[in-house]
Amino acid sequence: MGSLHRTQVLLEDWHYAYLKNAAERDGRSLSEILRGILSEYIGKCSANRKRLEDIAGIGADEEVSGREHDRWLYQKTK
C-alpha cells in the first residue's frame, strides 16, 4: 500500500452506522472499508471508460454502418 493521506469526510448517520458495523463484523477499520469501496467504484468507472475508448472514432470509419452497432458496442457478430 502506498502512502496514506488524512482527510475529513462528513457522513450521514446511516452511512456511519453501516460502515462501523461492517468494520466491526469484518475485523477491519472503518478507513479500510471506505478504501475498499472507493477502489471498487474507481475500478468500475475505469472499466466503463475503457469501453468508451474502444469505440472512439467509430463515426469516422467509412466501413461502419448503423446495422453493425451491436458488433461495435458489444463485440457481437450476426
Q: Phi/psi of residue 30, each to 5°?
A: -60, -40
- Output the pTM of the full model: 0.56
Name the strand (E) or helix (H) holding 50. helix 30-54
How does residue 6 score in pLDDT terms, banded at 50, 70 and 90?
A: very high
C-alpha cell at 5: 493521506
Q: Quick check: 26 and 18 in contact, CB under 8 A?
A: no
Residue among 76, 67, 66, 72 at smallest CA distance from 54: 72
Residues 19-56 have pLDDT tens digits of 999 999 999 999 999 999 999 888 877 666 656 666 66
